[in-house]
Chain A
Amino acid sequence: MSRDPQNDMERMAALGNLARGLAHEMNTPLSAIACNNDTIETALRRIREHLDKPPERPQSKDELFFAEMINLLDVAQDSLRTSRVASDRLRAFIRSLRDFSRIGNEALEKTDIREPIETALLLLAHELRGRITVAKEFGDIAPMDVHKTQLSQVFMNILMNSAQAIEGKGEIRIQTRQEGNTARISISDNGPGISPEVQARIFEPGFTTKNADTGTGLGLAICLKIVEAHHGRIEMQSQAGKGSTFTIILPIAADPVNTERTTNG
């Protein structure tokens, strides 16, 4: 497959955006862990100091001594608990990134379709936080044999487009439901909508309405290829002033073709 310089530029921009967002997301748990390390170290040092000099302490001060020790232990314990929460957050990020990097190498995997959606949301958390409310209406869908990471990228691309379409604050609604042997995943935003001219070209390879520094990387053309490789399709509905909905429709029992070549550009 020939390389398209426009696609390369978008991929680099996407990588830059992703790296910036992830750096920010990882910064918070790292800040907490660094702060707690100092706190725990200081608390333990003071406990050690107290234990090293008990003979100087008059018996009448026993109550104060134990109150101080309990206070220090409480602080250390609470700091440790917080660091554990922060470590779990970092672990989840790293797992998502690892999954994300498997593109092109991954095998078909029996997957709850909500999982790649959640991965995409986790990786986009920085883009969404404080500005976009995400409403999830996840209906049950039977597990499907899919290339999980490729679908994560599709969801991430559409979610990023939706987020960037919304100026200021807004809402993205994600709905999943099963209709017979078909899974329907709808991603709707309350942005300004897509003009008919753009709608007509939106799945064309290399087509974009964005600057190079805000490009989303894969582009909808490649998203469509991935979905088609899963024997599915993408439907789009958009109304000026009311927002847009992209619906990914996938057969639940199908054997997707290998999309390695297309997704690697």
Chain B
Amino acid sequence: MDNSDSKPAILIVDDEEMVTTSLRNLFRLQTNYRTATFTSPMEALASASNDTFDLVISDYLMPGMDGITFLARFKETQPQAMRILLTGYADKDSAIRAINQVGLYQYVEKPWDNDSLLMSVKNALEKATLLRTLDRKIQELQAARLSLTDFQHNLIRAFI
């Protein structure tokens, strides 16, 4: 995948291929987002080690690793990406309890409404962009502060 691509990148993980394909086609038709889909959370984590995503959408109930654990591990590698959890009705209580564990942006119940999901994703991506911009500004500010401190030291040395 091309990391230099400026399109927003979304990682979609669900053990049901019918869900990942449906979402991929929805985004392909309605947006310009780049999507990567996985039916295995482990493979998705491996992919996250060499690709950057702005948003991850994960199912909750998956064999091998549940969605909360997956999102928590994904957060370790890409903390700035927004996280959305897809849940079935029966998983709702567990999902709500787990929201704070991984700092979810939102949980979405299945069956989802396409328009609402597209809106949530758009808002989440805007937030991700704002956070990235904020982070970049903070770094620039810190660099400027360091530079100013150096300049101040040099100035003091010049006069002493």
Contact = CB atoms under 8 A, between A and B. Distances in A.
B66 A130 contact: yes
A50 B143 CA distance: 52
A36 B89 contact: no
Interface string B2-33: 00000000000000111101110110111000
A173 interface: no
Contacts of A75: 25, 28-29
B63 to A, nearest CB: 5
Contact of B110 (A31, A38, A89): A31
B102 interface: no
Contacts of B160: none
Contacts of A42: 29-30
A177 interface: no
Nearest to A42: B29
B18 A34 contact: no
A39 B25 CA distance: 7
Given A28-B18, A31-B111, A38 B89 contact: no
Interface string A21-48: 1011001111110111011001100000
B112 interface: yes
A187 B155 CA distance: 82
Interface stretch (A79-87, A144-152, A244-252, A254-262): A79-87
Interface in B54-82: 61-64, 66
A38 B111 contact: no
B111 A82 contact: no
B18 A29 contact: yes
- Say what secondary structure dominates the interface of chain B: helix
A129 interface: yes
Interface of A is mostly: helix
B62, B63, B112 — most chain A CB neighbours (10 Å): B63
A126 interface: yes
Interface in B105-138: 110-112, 114
A38 B18 contact: no
A21 B76 CA distance: 33
Nearest to A84: B18
Contact of A43 (B29, B64, B110): B29
A34 B26 CA distance: 11
Contacts of B30: 42
A72 interface: yes
Contacts of A126: 90
B61 A38 contact: no
A98 interface: no
A95 to B, nearest CB: 18
9 contacts: A20-B90, A28-B88, A32-B16, A32-B18, A36-B22, A36-B25, A82-B22, A89-B18, A130-B62
Interface of A: 20-21, 23-24, 27-32, 34-36, 38-39, 42-43, 71-72, 75, 78-79, 82, 85-86, 89, 126, 129-130, 133
Given A29-B18, A35-B22, A82-B25, 20 more contacts: A23-B90, A24-B91, A27-B111, A28-B19, A28-B110, A30-B111, A31-B22, A31-B110, A34-B111, A35-B26, A36-B25, A39-B29, A42-B29, A43-B29, A75-B28, A75-B29, A82-B17, A82-B22, A130-B63, A130-B64
